[in-house]
Every structure is written in C-alpha cells, then in structure tokens.
Amino acid sequence: MNTTFDPEVFLAQQHTGSLDTRVPPLPEAEYPALIDNVELREVNFRDGGKGLALNVMCLVEGPEVKEACGVPSKRVRYNFLLDLAPDGSLDMSNSKNLRLGRLREAVGQNTERPWSFLDLKGQPVKVRVKHTPDKNDPEVVYDEVASVTALA
C-alpha cells in the first residue's frame, strides 16, 4: 500500500492529551558517557573581541537515565572557551587550554602525536553532571558536564 504524506491533512488532524514541557534533569552525579559530537562556535566578547568555544556533546545511557528521566538516553553538553595564540591557532603553551588537556587525557589522546578535535568523537568518558538554571526561568535546569575523567 502506497500512502502519500499530506501536510494539510496532518495539520487538520485533532489530537487528544497534553504534551510534556520538559524532560526531568539527570541527578547530579558521575555517569559513563560517549562523546557523540564536537562543535566549534565563535563567541563575541563584550569588549568587541572574538573567541572560540568548544561544545562537546556526551551521550549518557542506561537504566539510571530511564529511571530518573523517563527516556533511554540524554545528551549533556561540556562547553568551554579555547585559548588561542595571537595567530589564531590553538594555544599549546603552558597553563593554556587546561580543560581541553583534561578531556584529551581522559580519552588517552593527550600525547605528542598529531591530533584533531574530531578524534574525540566516539570516545568513552566519565562525566560529572551538574545543573545550571535557566536565566529566565530558574525552575528550568539544564544538565551540563562539570568535568570529565577517564572511564575506569
């Protein structure tokens, strides 16, 4: 049987029941996770300068997620600014990019070999989840990664 989707019919369909407006947060704790995406985004500073932030998305799965949140998995974000050298490259000097160094250490990639941010994808880590309240509605909290360590 071949059926064609008709958006006008879908728009006119009536539905019964209410929808959830938010997913409950994960309890603040440590969880095994898998880095499932990495993105760079440009940030504008108040002083007019620009920088780069790294967004690392980690997938947390398991029975504790289902029990606490009612969903089989949740993505939690690990965000931080990158230190850049004057030429715009990643600053590899002492005491710079410490969070990135800890992340690379957690996945066994903090070595002298050539490395790219994309090497983080698919790597297992342990994440410590914290709650950050929404600036406009403190009753809404977001799951964020406070720190990462190696998965033992």
CB 58 within 8 A of CB 143: no
pLDDT bucket at 30, cuts 50 / 70 / 90: very high
CATH says 21-149 is which class?
A: mainly beta
pLDDT of residue 3: 78
Over residues 78-124, the pLDDT tens digits come to 999 999 999 999 999 999 999 999 999 999 999 999 999 999 999 99
For the chain, what are the domain ranges?
A: 21-149
Q: pTM of the full predicted structure?
A: 0.84
In the predicted structure, residue 150 carries a pLDDT above the cut 90: yes
